[in-house]
Structure 1
């Protein structure tokens, strides 16, 4: 899909991977709808990107908020061609410390944001895409952000890992569901990236993590993630798969 004049919805657009992808897609001529909880960051990014950017404060775990956001996007741009689900949380917590269990609400909140919220945005975007005029047989592209945690299962990340495994599990059946509409579905499983979350790591912890990465032995740049997003959008033969973007890191 050529991006010039297309409309991309990006959740988690206020920072990190979502922000980098929004900037890359906008530079390729896309109109971008920026969805995030952080209104100040969204507004700053929309101002940076200009009149083809729309900032919509959105809580992906709230169905009413998601519905209002999609309505706002369609009201402004008239269609949706690309959906990138990059919003997520990584709240840690072991299932038990031997005396107390992990609060069920902690687990539930991660699932509601990372999996159910993602599915909500995806289902509404793909419904809008089904009404698009096809170009070379294609009406839309869905890109969902999973994580290398989906199959590496780090300690203390049962909620996060299971939510990201769910994102991978959605990929094939949803791709099968929407193929008849000319829509593709792809997941990306990033490894360790140099985002705001990583900026709080002590130097010793960061160095230890970098030693786990094969080549290049460093945290990924958000722009490298954004480059893959762009390639998936432009390359019609990417569909129904999960792509690891992790430089070979394996964690435990």
Structure 2
């Protein structure tokens, strides 16, 4: 059984990293895909991999005009929309508040909040009537390390990911009973493409620049499940929440954290040693 057979699914931020991994899984689950990304080069790479079956649309999900143009392209190609998955995001480079120059604070705040929060709200607003008609679903992206805890990023990133919990809950309330709204809060993602903000001069840096062994050391030290997930490993959660098979769920954010928050951090994780 394919969870999304014949469903039309829009994935914003689907050009690389988490979004591309989710897109591949949704395609395997039978979805008809529309993928929106700000990078033409990333979309070209996807076209080379996936062919012309998905609708690949270049646009900025923080811009109303781009979202409206994407909406028209979806109507022209598919005539409907069953689910919207938000996967775009930006990291703040783990920069603490005291290290953000005062003359750059406003620009950095606007950049990170616009991409991580406003874009989800605006996309939901643009597509809500189409989702209403299909009793559809919205799935947004939080962060296990920053939606529930501190130290999953700097203050700007952590604040935006905490905000996503509120967005999911409020939209689930506002859009009921026709549209279900849930979230996924991934933990570590191998090969993550999240870049830093232009306002802080970090646009050429991304989480992918962090050596994989550093990520693995964190997983080994903190996580009961000691393997490194890739973007595709989160795909089944997004696909399920986007599908009609999760009709009992709304207003929930799934912490896909490999058991990170279900442990005593004072005790090293070593399941092979008996106490």
TM-score by length of 1: 0.88
Aligned equivalent of 1:242: 253
Distance 1:249 1:146 in 2: 15
**1:69 corresponds to:** 70
Alignment map for 1:208-227 (pairs within 5 Å) = 208-227=217-236
Matched, 1:123 2:125: yes
Q: Does 1:230 align with 2:239?
A: yes
Give the deviation of 1:53 after TM superposition: 0.5
Q: Give CA deviations for 1:68-119 in whole Å, capped at 9, x if unaligned.
A: 1122112211111010000010123221239857622101110001100111
Determine whether 1:59 maps to 2:60. Answer: yes
Q: How does 1:79-90 map to 2 (within 5 A)?
A: 79-90=80-91
| TM-superposed deviation, 1:162 | 0.9
**Which secondary structure does the structure 1 equivalent of 2:10 belong to?**
strand
Residue 202 of structure 2 corresponds to which residue in structure 1? none
Any conservation in 2 of the 1:96–1:102 contact (CA below 8 Å)?
no
SS at match of 1:96: helix
State the Cα distance separating 1:45 from its structure 2 match.
1.6
Partner of 1:187: 183
Q: Take 2:47 and 2:101, find their aligned partners in 1: how far apart are those partners?
A: 47
Contact 1:115 1:166 in 2 (8 A): yes
Q: In the superposition, relative to structure 1, how do residues 204 and 78 fare at CA in structure 2: closer, same or farther (>3 Å)?
A: closer
Cα distance, 1:204–1:41 mapped onto 2, change above 3 Å: closer
Q: Does 1:176 align with 2:176?
A: no
Deviation per CA, 1:28-81, whole angstroms, max 9, x where unpaired? 221100111111221332343344301101111222112211221122111110
Q: Which runs of 5+ in 2 are unaligned?
A: 194-206, 266-275
Alignment size in residue pairs: 244
Question: Would you identify which runs of 4 or more consecutive aligned residues in structure 1 move more than 4 Å?
Answer: 98-102
Alignment of 1:105-184 (within 5 A): 105-132=107-134, 139-148=135-144, 149-154=146-151, 157-180=154-177, 182-184=178-180
Q: Structure 1 residues 207 and 102, CA, compared in 2 at 3 Å: closer, same or farther?
A: farther
Shift of 1:166: 1.1
SS at match of 2:99: coil
Q: Is the 8 A contact 1:213 1:247 kept in 2?
A: no
In 1, the alpha carbon distance for the partners of 2:12 and 2:223 equals 30
Q: Residue 95 of structure 1 contacts residue 156 of structure 1 at CA under 8 Å; is this kept in 2?
A: no
C-alpha separation between the residues in 2 aligned to 1:45 and 1:30? 16
1:156 deviates by 5.7
